[in-house]
Amino acid sequence: MNMLMKSSRSPGDPRVISTGPGTLASPDQLARGLGWFSIGLGMLELFGAHRVARTLGLEGSEWMIRACGAREIGSGVACLSVNPAPGVAARIAGDALDIATLAVAAQQDDPRRGNAQLALLAVLGITVLDVICHQGLTARHARQPGPGRDYRDRSGFPKGLAHARNAQV
């Protein structure tokens, strides 16, 4: 890394004066944001499972919270990859599990059920973002269905294939 930092460009190399339109569109940037969020939340659940359980009134379910943390980190890494759509889809599936868990906690006869209700609202909100992101990624990056164009007229041999096969000179 140090060597890379030292590998300065030549003084004459072109420098950026102003930046223009690029390849990163809103769904791509949103997927990256969700990826980092997922990793952060996953670390919190993995290493702070006791605190999360106490806050939500889910004592005794620390193992499940840690498992959710591992799942969040996995989907976060996938969101940061070159093809983030499967990672975002994994997040949506994870959101469904979280919603089911929190819905149960939010109805418990426990003074901390307000926390669980707030967390449920937050997860519902982020699920909407996940769905919007996934739809945006699919619309922008998916290949059109169907066989594609037929390039069988593009041999590249102006004198024909048979001539090319005998052109060993």
Partner 1 sequence: MKALVWHGKQDIRCDQVSDPGIEDPRDAIIKVTSCAICGSDLHLFHNFIPAMKNGDIMGHEMMGEVVEVGSEAKGKLKKGDRIVVPFTIICGQCDQCRRGNFSVCERSNRNKEMADKVYGHSTAGLFGYTHLTGGYPGGQAEYLRVPFADATHIKVPDNLTDEQVLFLGDIFPTGWQAAAHCDIEPTDTVAVWGCGPVGQMAIRSAILLGARQVVAIDCIPERLSMAQAGGAITINFETESVIERLNDLTSGKGPEKCIDAVGLESHVSMGQPDTLLDRAKQAVMMESDRPHVVREMIYVCRPGGIISIPGVYSGLVDKIPLGIAMNKGLSFRMGQTHVNRWTDDLLRRIEEGQIDPSFVITHTARLEDGPEMYKMFRDKQDSCIKVVLKP
Lay out the site mask for partner 1 across 10-49 (x = CB under 8 A, - = otherwise): xxxxxxxxxxxxxxx---x---------------------
Residue 111 touches partner 1, criterion: CB under 8 A: no
DSSP state of 146: S
Q: How many CB atoms lie within 10 A of CB 127?
A: 17
Which residues between 118 and 157 bind partner 1 (CB under 8 A)?
A: 140-144, 147-157
CB of 6 to partner 1, least distance (A): 8
In angstroms, the CA 72 to CA 125 distance is 16
In angstroms, the CA 123 to CA 102 distance is 9
Let me know: does 21 contact 74? Beta carbons within 8 Å.
no
Residue 100 touches partner 1, criterion: CB under 8 A: no
Q: Under the rule (CB under 8 A), what is the footprint of partner 1?
A: 3-4, 6-7, 9-24, 28, 77-78, 80-82, 140-144, 147-159, 161, 163-165, 167-168
